[in-house]
Amino acid sequence: MAGEFIEHLENHMEFLRYLKDNFKNCTFALSTPNGMAISNVIMAMARMEVQSPDHLQHYSYKILYTVCTRVGFTDFEIIPYYFYATEMIMKSKGLNAYWCRAGKK
């Protein structure tokens, strides 16, 4: 399990190749924030960002698919999940609060 991890790595391809080469008959789950989610676009319009300053990459479905195929994975599935920045929504006021809440829907 590598939850909310890959976006922090300087070399994500090396990490995935390591997993593929050393855990050949294993199943693993990897999660990362969807950098292209509509909520992130809405947050940007409010001049806010949900992403941690420690993130080195943003991933879309297309980028994840490309990375997995370049590493040589053939049997994988990309499944979306939804994250809501509840703390940011609760701390926002005025127009920013409106945009943050709009991104939650």
pTM metric for this prediction? 0.67
H/E stretch holding 14:
helix 12-22
56-68 residue pLDDT tens: 888 888 899 999 9
The predicted-structure confidence for 3-48, as pLDDT tens digits, reads as follows 888 988 999 999 999 999 999 889 989 888 877 777 777 777 778 7
What pLDDT sits at residue 43? 75
Residue that the structure tokens 């297309």 belong to: 62
Parse the chain into domains and list their residue ranges.
2-104
What was the pLDDT predicted at 100?
65
How far apart are the C-alpha atoms of 78 and 76, rounded to whole Å? 7
Q: What is the pLDDT of residue 55?
A: 82
φ, ψ at 32 (rounded to 5°): -155, 150
> Cα separations (Å) of 12 from 30, 62, 85, 95?
12, 15, 25, 37
